[in-house]
Chain A
Amino acid sequence: MKELRTYTVLSLTIRTFFIRIFYNYLNLFGEGLCFCLFPALGNDRSEFIRKHLRFFNTNEYLSGFALGIILNRELNNNDESVEKTKEILSSVIGSIGDRLVYKLILPVIILTALNKFVISGFAIDTCTVIIVFSEILLFNIFNFIIRFYGIRSGYEKGIEAIKIFKSGTYRRIVYLLTLFRNLLVLSLIINLILLNI
């Protein structure tokens, strides 16, 4: 298997941040996928475009996994399974990403900030600013790492890479995030009531 250089992975990672700019109702992320994969393709682009400018769906945060897995299939001449892999990725990555990011991580971050707003009586202090900026920083580190790791892992392991989302560790993380999110919303309600008293 061809080695994917760190520079190429980095270049692909940066491109995934712009994957949505090509979003359209005809093929959803199909054009974004072609745009993101260009640095890894070399000169044979027209054949690649002909093949991949079709319907493709993903979650932008987990798009790295999709890119890595498709590259694994493409660069290693595993042509017959590319379409099937894309179909699997379109449904699986989209739903996992939406659940992980939009149903768990985003609410946890927002509810933490909102709790602090309410505790400080809708006024900002240094602690509030530190909390909000730390959350943004941590989320963006996660945002970068998940894309970078997704490309690398997808390329090295192929479709096996998404088995990470079936692992016990992942399930425990999801369980803890769900618990934490519910605790945060309950604490927000309590804090709001206390603020009124």
Chain B
Amino acid sequence: MLLISFISAVVLLESREVFQGMLSQPFFTALFLIWAGYDQNFVLAAATVTHLIYLNRTPSGTTAFPEYPFGYFITASIILPGEQNVITFILSIALIILISEFTARFMCFKRRYFEKYRDRFLFYKGVPNLKEGILFTVIIYFIFSLAVAAILKLISLGLVDSALNKISVPHSEAIIIFLCIVPALFYIYKNFKMKK
């Protein structure tokens, strides 16, 4: 769980703070989860649904933009290993949305602390230390990830023994495809509406 929390912190750092080279996007991180031994069908389907839900959103610093790369990575790596069915899949999508939204609020809270650099610029006439800034951010993100991972682990442990995980759901594949098609149609609708 420590390793997952650390990688999640790095994912959050890359997606919102430094570089922004798409290395934290679910379609890319999903490959690493598969190589780590996760069920490829569920991991890729979850990445597809997550992307389609958030494809129409433009990241903005001033608004609370859902941190879906982080939400996806931490949820998929904790909830998705082991046996899955469509109910736990839907539950994991709901958790991804919930964590992404919550992380957006957390980011707003964290960013207020960075006004301290203004003092350093103005009163010390020095250059803010980049290493210190990144380290500070990674530590905060790591603590946050650890807390989220602990909550997810508890949910995951509850799911393993629950009846939900053992129900055989008919037309599972069709349900997953339906979950992909709905946000894709909404995306098209939004694009054409915007054009008008």
Contacts and interface: CB of A to CB of B under 8 A. Distances in A.
Given A49-B121, A124-B34, A182-B191, A22 B181 contact: no
B51 A23 contact: no
Given A132-B27, A136-B28, A192-B181, A25 B62 contact: yes
Contacts of B34: 124
A170 interface: no
Given A22-B128, A109-B22, A132-B27, A31 B117 contact: yes
B146 interface: no
B137 interface: yes
Interface string B113-157: 011011001100101101001100100000000000000000000
Contacts of A136: 21-23, 28
B160 interface: no
Interface in A1-53: 17-18, 20-28, 31, 34-35, 38, 45-46, 49-50, 53
Interface stretch (B1-9, B39-47, B75-83, B91-99): B39-47
A17 B18 contact: yes
Nearest to A107: B55
B121 A102 contact: no
A20 B20 contact: yes
Nearest to B26: A110
A127 interface: no
Tell me the interface secondary structure of chain B in the complex: helix
Interface in A97-128: 98, 102-103, 106-107, 109-111, 113-114, 117-118, 121-124
B44 to A, nearest CB: 4
B21 A192 contact: no
A78 B16 CA distance: 34
Contacts of A26: 115, 118
Contacts of B196: none
A26 B137 CA distance: 18
A20 B58 contact: no
Q: Which of A49, A186, A193 has the most CB of B within 10 A?
A: A49
B152 to A, nearest CB: 22
B177 A110 contact: no
B137 to A, nearest CB: 7
B117 A122 contact: no
Given A25-B111, A196-B174, A110 B184 contact: no
Interface residues of B, number: 52
A145 interface: no
Given A107-B55, A110-B25, A35 B112 contact: no
B84 to A, nearest CB: 12
Given A117-B27, A117-B48, A185-B184, A21 B191 contact: no
Given A23-B61, A27-B118, A122 B112 contact: no
B186 to A, nearest CB: 10
B31 A18 contact: no
19 contacts: A18-B134, A20-B16, A25-B112, A25-B115, A28-B61, A34-B121, A35-B130, A45-B125, A49-B125, A61-B20, A98-B58, A110-B25, A114-B48, A117-B48, A121-B41, A188-B184, A192-B181, A195-B177, A196-B177
Which 6 residue pairs across A and B have the least CB separation, nearest first?
A113-B27, A122-B44, A24-B114, A102-B58, A122-B41, A140-B21
Interface of A: 17-18, 20-28, 31, 34-35, 38, 45-46, 49-50, 53, 60-61, 98, 102-103, 106-107, 109-111, 113-114, 117-118, 121-124, 129, 132, 135-136, 139-140, 143, 181-182, 185-186, 188-189, 192-193, 195-196
